[in-house]
Every structure is written in structure tokens, then in C-alpha cells.
Structure 1
Amino acid sequence: MSYTPRVLLVVCAYDLSGVLSPEQWRQLAQKRPRNKKGVTYQEAAVRYGSGDILQWHFNNGIPFEVTEEVVKAAAENEESGKEILALLLDKRGTEIQITEEVVKAAAENEESGKEILALLLDKRGTEIQITEEV
């Protein structure tokens, strides 16, 4: 079966692990699909709390680019941001930078911001700078 690269966005938004094989995923991901607002499939996965897709990526050795926007989207996730960030920090911790934008996103998260900030301080507290803006 042939898919358009944008299927990755749908799979990530709805946490539909198992729809694509790792090889199909790798081929489609080479096109770097984005939605009309410029959101990548990585951002969609963390924004919508698609933990199964993230775990599937890590278990199958599929590249998953962790940009500042991805980490920020996870920090903004009110329902499962803490769990998603914990998974990212566990699997890709050395690649993740906790920027001022990420800290602000967590601080503005009304539902789970406190838990996310506690996680960030626990895991990476020495790297976090609390500025006046934060």
C-alpha cells in the first residue's frame, strides 16, 4: 500500500502505532512532512500525547528529531506533557536543551505545568535559568 508522507501527521496526532512498518515510516519521513501551519510529525506526536508512537520510534531505532519546538510542544501539553517529557528525557536526554522558551511554556501550562516544572528541575535543574520573564 502506498501512502502520502502526510499520513505521518495523522498517525502521530491519533497515536496509531502499528499502521506503518518501520521501513515505511523511514521512507515517508525523508520527505519531512508538515501540516499547513508548519507543524512536523514530531511536534504533533508530543502535542497530542502520542506516547505509544514515541515508544515505537525508540524501540525500532527510528530517527526522531527532538528540536526546541518539539520540547516546547511537550511542555505545553496539558494532559500528558509530564509523561511525554519524561519519556523524551529518558530516551534522548543528551539531545534535549531546556531553553527559556521551554520553561516559559511549562510555566504557562495551567493543567500540568507544576508537574512538568518539577520534572525539569529534578532531571535538569542545574541547566535551568529562572529569568525575570519566566
Structure 2
Amino acid sequence: MALSTPDVNRAETFYRDTLGLRHLYRFGELTFFDCGGVRLLIEKSEHLQSPAQASAIYFSCRDITLGVSELERRGVAFKSRPHLVAPMEDHDLWMAFFEDPDGHTLALMHEAPKGYIPMIT
């Protein structure tokens, strides 16, 4: 998976320091992260793909309330509070959406036990 950015340093700092992804390496204007076993490439581009055209990246977490609180503490502004997206047969799917500095859509995702209600502040 790949995202483009006009500022690789800014993007690298956000994904490494704010989101806490494991930084693999950097080669010139390409920087790579481990994203749960999937390699995420962030590359400099003067011809940016519109964030609306890029696919959203969903980060699984064990507790969406704690995840949102921690990322807000690190300066992330959420576009939506944790909300139930899909009641599944054996669990409920909760999400909270935010953006990276370039406007790419990201989300925390929690596959919670049926009936789970997050402590939304």
C-alpha cells in the first residue's frame, strides 16, 4: 500500500511518532513502515493523488476508547467519535475516523464483543 505526500519528513514523523507505527527504513524520498505485516510506503510526489481517491487505512485496536484518547493526546483530531459501524453476528464493529497531515482518511477499528459500549467523551 502506498500514499503520496509533498513532505516526506512530516509524514514520516506523523506515522512514526504520532501513530506509533514501526519504521522500517528510508531511501531518499521513500519511507517504509510495518503496518500489521503490510508494508506501507510513503513517497514524495509533486502530483499528489487526491486523498479522496486514496483508500482508507483501518488500524485495528483492542480498545477504541483508549486508542482515541491516546492519539488525541498525541495531537490527532478525530473527524468522528467512535461509533457502531456494523453489528455482526458474533461481534460489533466500531470505528473512529481521522486524517493524516495530507488529508488521507485513516480510522481506528475495534471488533468488540456484542453489546460493547465505549466510554465516549
- TM-score normalised by the shorter chain: which range applies? under 0.3
Q: Normalising to structure 2: TM-score of the pair? A: 0.27
Q: Say which structure, 1 or 2, has more relative contact order (CA 8 Å, 6+ apart).
A: 2
Q: Which of the two has greater strand per residue?
A: 2
Q: Which of the two has greater helix per residue?
A: 1
